[in-house]
Amino acid sequence: MRALFKGGLTGLSAALVAGVIAGCGGSSGPPTLQWYIFPEPSGSFAHAAQVCSQASGGKYKIELNTLPTDADGQRQQLVRRLAAKDSSIDIVGMDVTYTPEFAEAGWLRPWVGANRLAASKGMLPGPLATATWKGTIYGMPDNSNTQLLWYRKDLVPNPPKTWAEMIQDAIRLDKQGKPHYIEVQGKQYEGLTVWFNTLVASGGGSILKGPSTVSLGPSAQKAAEIIHDVASSVAADPSLSNSDEGSARLAFESGSAAFELNYPFVYPSIQADDPKLAKQMGYTYYPSVNPGQSAKVTIGGSNLGVSSFSKYPQFDYAAIKCLTDKDNQKTDAIKGGLPPTLAALYTDPALAKPYPFKSLIARQLANAGIRPQTPAYADVTIAIQKALSPPGSIDPKSVLSTLNSQLKAALSSGALI
């Protein structure tokens, strides 16, 4: 915590001053609600802010503020400002892993009574679980996310069903002198934790049991072996240890890969960037760890919470209900490739053509893996990333012992709160 504040005090002070000025400037008219969320490139969030501002009938306006591009930067900015009780943040756009930490710190207002009913009505259970801590809802699911397997139909007519099959397909394509890389997130950041957690959950295990007990077992061993097998084979892109979602997308679009594990945003992207290659892009379920056993893919997405320090909580709740309504979630899905959290949208005919893989998404969300829910998640994920990075250098036989020790130390740290 000290390290974070030491380098960011000047920027934080400036942000607070800006917030005070903005608050003073808006005192003569309807309040302007400051919505902080990750940068969504399609414009669907900006559209929702505009629509919901108009729908308020002049009661309030919503101003969109974008957080840093990377997940770590997003969390750090929110932590710094919420810890300082910054009242210029009204609506908190949270990654699904933030709920336990932010709720325990007292930075979020709970959703109770009619608001709780609104937050849970029609929501898929997986996304709603990520917004819940100790039985209390602290946010409204805005969008969810789950990775699919994207592949080249011209290279792989029958997509692999397991990781072992996919690695073998990549080796075969390499021998034929054809594009063969498996694009996956191997950089030392949150994406590496997502990969590991998905493999562990898909094997029937978990990283933690409850919020404070390490529970690594055979499934974690198998997960480490798969990561090592990919990284040490010809299936690995040479830049695997620096690969994130964006670079994986670009690598696939460059034509050097046969497979890509990534989120649905890659679908509208490739259609815009390379329509010819887009025709060869197939999609299917995330590959399993064990034959015949469906993968439990780590759930992503964002929830919208009301800051405990906002001056306009009654308007914040109303605005969030609008921002996450059926029409706006549909726009997020079609325009931005962000999977909805409302179950009804997965049977909406309007999504059939622009979102043809919606049934796959719905099935994976119904059997989703959730990252460890603990207030110390920030330290837990760092421990995982350090132990497994770079993927090509890990020793599957010893890495779990190292990870077990590092996770225990992380859980005893209390994270940043």
Residues 6+ apart with CB under 8 A from 405: none
pLDDT of residue 9 exceeding 50, the answer is no
- 297 vs 18, which has greater pLDDT? 297
CATH topology of 2-145+300-366 equal to that of 148-298+376-411?
yes
pTM to 2 decimals? 0.83
**Residue corresponding to tokens 């899905």:** 333
Q: How confident is the model at residue 15 (pLDDT cuts 50, 70, 90)?
A: very low
pLDDT of residue 416 exceeding 90, the answer is no
Instruction: Average the pLDDT over each of 4-13, 42-51, 72-81, 395-404 and give the range with the smallest value.
Output: 4-13
Q: How confident is the model at residue 27 (pLDDT cuts 50, 70, 90)?
A: low
Q: Classify 2-145+300-366 by CATH class.
A: alpha beta
Across 17-135, the runs of DSSP E, i.e. the strands, are 32-37, 61-66, 91-95, 132-133
In a 10 Å sphere around its CB, with 0-12 CB exposed, 13-18 middle and 19+ buried, how is residue 174 labelled?
middle
pLDDT of residue 205 exceeding 60, the answer is yes
What is the distance between the terminal CA atoms of the chain, rounded to a whole angstrom?
8
pLDDT digits (tens, 9 = 90+) for 328-360: 999 998 888 789 999 999 999 988 888 899 999
pLDDT of residue 193 exceeding 60, the answer is yes
Domain 148-298+376-411 has CATH 3.40.190.10: yes
pLDDT of residue 20 exceeding 60, the answer is no
pLDDT over 90 percentage in the chain: 82
Average pLDDT of 252-271? 94
pLDDT of residue 167 exceeding 80, the answer is yes
Residues comprising the chain, all counted: 417
Q: Hey, where are the domains in the chain? A: 2-145+300-366, 148-298+376-411
Dist CA 417 CA 404 (whole Å): 22
pLDDT digits (tens, 9 = 90+) for 29-59: 899 999 999 999 889 999 999 999 999 999 9
Amino acid (1-letter code) at residue 345: L
- 414 vs 112, which has greater pLDDT? 112
Which residues share a beta bridge with 92? Answer: 36, 305
Number of H helices and number of E strands within the chain? Answer: 17, 13
pLDDT of residue 139 exceeding 90, the answer is yes
pLDDT of residue 367 exceeding 80, the answer is yes
Element (H, E) at 332: helix 326-336
Average pLDDT of 146-168? 97
Q: What is the pLDDT of residue 72?
A: 78
